[in-house]
Structure 1
């Protein structure tokens, strides 16, 4: 027999043997997962170590747990308004005003500490007449206050938590310099024509201040990453595991403001996304059912479309379809996801709960499949805010249509969860099989806004982690 033939046969035998072994390891892991899916503690243990790729829909302010915010408030000399309760500063600036207390004092009062943790999250929340999970969830952001200098501490908190769950990558939504824009632009009137409105903004106080606004945003983030590295001892022998978690920012635009403030935020984001180490994408946030969010929805999409066409393409992911019948009128359920994709150039959709109510929803799903528009699935958030869970969730529509999806946390601190918990819900409530869990994990890297070479590196690392993880069950 010619030597080349022998070599070929040997290669086939070895390759098939290796493939068979890897496949057997995957099947062993899948079988074990199925055997423990009703045993919560064992499933948690399994999912904690399961390689999860990334978390692509994660609001940084909402990712921090209330207890951590309260600790920081005490260290920074902030106050607690006891009636709400909420973190802030009283008029006197020393927490002495009637109805206020020092955050440090609240820490030592078990009842007050319990109340503020509940007020800054959905812990212990139960729906009541006139106050829904939606109301409780979104009001928490009005009750939070942290000093800007805590940005690095926030990065440490979320990256350490991610590392403990075998997560490689985070895209964190964060809003820079918003306070400066509100004071500058709240009284500015726009025309409704994005091209004209861009000129109005750029030839006014905003345009003059834009270089300093951009530098302030860049410096804050640059300083935060440098401080994060110091706090986690990155590069040192005793480095924190969180150092290995890669973090990028999504430029977060708060849409419940006047058009001038919203457009200015988007313009700033466009510039920051052009930076080599700047934001990797842009998103619009705040309740989609808010008055201004609903009134100006199409206008906001047109703002993005104008910049996309006139100033260069950028990565866009949008909250769209985070709505339900009853929360809004039927006519407002028909077009948000489609406009986010067709006008807003969204490569990813956050939530997408109202997909079945969209005009020609089947055609839209087919379009999303063909264009590989990924949906960021937030199971606990959808349950708390909209009361949508289990078989009522449209995740099965996306999966049946071949639309790519990935699991994410949304606001894990406010919701009192982590990404491991979301993977557990996927198994227990939606019957997701082990092989599909792996696909979800891969999707969180494939559909990230990282450059292609970096995606490949992380995917290669992820595949290695899968192999190591599955060997435990051989």
Structure 2
């Protein structure tokens, strides 16, 4: 694949004087795969290698959880807000009676111990179970309430931070989960009680309110993007690298509310995806083990099934199987992934950790492989939240079953990481080859919801679609195909990045 694709690129793309020169040097130099084998047991050089390694996409990334605690505290200081040391959170107001337990966020720079305590509370940094904070699961999910007071006002700065980090991480595409305008959607649901499974009546009751809810969601997204563009200086000579990262959104809804509030979010969320091309799909989030989420799980899946008929063509990536026997009774582990696939119609599954505990896992895995249902693998958060890692994680099971996978970050700010960290962890834990890493990277774009046909036939990297099978000659049909498909253009750009990366690393003395 490398020689076929790279041979069609102009010398300027590869940083070589000519394709002929690249070919002659490449014969003498070790391949990128050989370089990877040299460094895979050297953690420092492996991290360097994989940081520069081109990554197709991060498809499971909650924007509000992607932000580091230091940024949250900086914004709180700038906004003149107060922090509580007893509650270990950012408050939504200025200090009225500053004291030992509350003081202005702007003063944290003079109180290093307090600042570090807040950073630990707002993230997983240095988490150690204690009598008052015994669970990584609970600590992780508690962080969001601790910085929620400032999240809405800084959406654009969050987006800018996420894009710049992705650029430094050599990520081509971000599919961020966001919830613009979700408050009014929830409120609308409480105005229209849901009667059992009468979803048609619920839809009809909300119909007149949906356009305004969608407009609010779009307006909030407009403001967020405008703010991010200003922060990143896009379109100016001082543009940040993040400006070059392609971004689309999944509308995320909350599963821990009463049924009528969940339904209203879903209905309005589907409508938002249909109305705004920046939104390419839908998800449902919050702890899957929450008692309300567990009780209503099957009802939620039926909601998705119903709305698929009302709003055809909306793609779903659903959190499912983010569970262990330590969190819920074994009865609760039997069917969540299967229901997400077979009832809700999910194209992708987020986490999927408990797949081996589902009823008839063999047939489920076979179905997922046959239908190309991709799993978004979040190794760090699965370790931090569920305590599942290494051989206990189903990563190897999915590989053995032929289920497509891509690595993702989940909440990289809360977890104090990035996508490179996920690649390093996967490489070190599961003895992955360089080809395996490229497969994971390519899968991110192949299964992204960005519009357009894939560059690859039947999800097989290296097997070009018919329009481009004349390579290394770029035919008129291939040119037209690339113009017609945003996804294929991003995939083409990823292959160009692989060519550039591989030409560079094979001549870097530090890797020899």
Give the match for residue 464 of structure 1. 496
- Residue pairs, 1:237-316, within 5 angstroms: 237-316=237-316
Give the match for residue 136 of structure 2. 133
Residues 75, 21 of structure 1: CA spacing in aligned structure 2 closer, same or farther, 3 A cutoff?
Answer: same
Q: TM-score, normalised by structure 2?
A: 0.84
SS across alignment from 1:43: helix
Give the match for residue 100 of structure 1. 102
Match of 1:32 among 26, 31, 35: 35
CA distance in 2, matches of 1:312, 1:332: 30
Query: Contact (CA 8 Å) 1:194, 1:303: kept in 2 or not?
Result: no
Q: Aligned-pair distance for 1:79? A: 1.7
CA distance in 2, matches of 1:458, 1:26: 28
Query: Contact (CA 8 Å) 1:218, 1:278: kept in 2 or not?
Result: no
Query: Contact (CA 8 Å) 1:84, 1:119: kept in 2 or not?
Result: no
CA distance in 2, matches of 1:21, 1:464: 19
Match of 1:156 among 155, 160, 168: 160
Q: Aligned-pair distance for 1:191? A: 1.9
Are 2:90 and 1:58 equivalent residues in the alignment? no
SS across alignment from 1:353: coil
Residues 23, 295 of structure 1: CA spacing in aligned structure 2 closer, same or farther, 3 A cutoff?
Answer: farther
Q: Aligned-pair distance for 1:231? A: 2.0
Query: Contact (CA 8 Å) 2:249, 2:280: kept in 1 or not?
Result: yes
SS across alignment from 2:175: strand
Give the match for residue 438 of structure 2. 438
**Structure 1 unaligned runs (5+)?**
1-10
Residues 291, 25 of structure 1: CA spacing in aligned structure 2 closer, same or farther, 3 A cutoff?
Answer: farther
CA distance in 2, matches of 1:215, 1:223: 12
Q: Aligned-pair distance for 1:238? A: 1.9
Match of 2:122 among 120, 123, 126: 120
How many residue pairs end up in the alignment? 455
CA distance in 1, matches of 2:197, 2:29: 55
Residues 399, 82 of structure 1: CA spacing in aligned structure 2 closer, same or farther, 3 A cutoff?
Answer: same
Q: Structure 1 stretch 104-113 or stretch 150-159: which is displaced more?
A: 104-113
Q: Aligned-pair distance for 1:68? A: 0.3
Q: Aligned-pair distance for 1:128? A: 3.5
Q: Structure 1 stretch 174-183 or stretch 438-447: which is displaced more?
A: 174-183
Give the match for residue 477 of structure 2. none
Encode CA deviations 1:51-82: one digit per residue, 9 max, x unaligned. Answer: 00110000000000000000011111222122
Give the match for residue 373 of structure 1. 373
Query: Contact (CA 8 Å) 1:70, 1:107: kept in 2 or not?
Result: no
Give the match for residue 7 of structure 1. none
SS across alignment from 2:278: coil
SS across alignment from 2:417: coil
Residues 301, 22 of structure 1: CA spacing in aligned structure 2 closer, same or farther, 3 A cutoff?
Answer: farther
Give the match for residue 394 of structure 2. 394
CA distance in 2, matches of 1:22, 1:385: 47
SS across alignment from 1:326: coil
CA distance in 2, matches of 1:24, 1:295: 61
SS across alignment from 1:432: coil
CA distance in 1, matches of 2:304, 2:258: 16
Are 2:110 and 1:111 equivalent residues in the alignment? no
**Structure 2 unaligned runs (5+)?**
9-19, 453-484, 508-512
CA distance in 2, matches of 1:278, 1:45: 33
CA distance in 2, matches of 1:21, 1:28: 13
Give the match for residue 47 of structure 1. 50
Residues 25, 183 of structure 1: CA spacing in aligned structure 2 closer, same or farther, 3 A cutoff?
Answer: farther
Encode CA deviations 1:132-157: one digit per residue, 9 max, x unaligned. Answer: 11111111111113252311111110
SS across alignment from 1:261: helix
Give the match for residue 4 of structure 1. none
Match of 1:179 among 183, 189, 195: 183
CA distance in 1, matches of 2:35, 2:189: 58
Query: Contact (CA 8 Å) 1:89, 1:95: kept in 2 or not?
Result: no
CA-based RMSD of the aligned residues comes to 2.3
Q: Aligned-pair distance for 1:188? A: 4.9
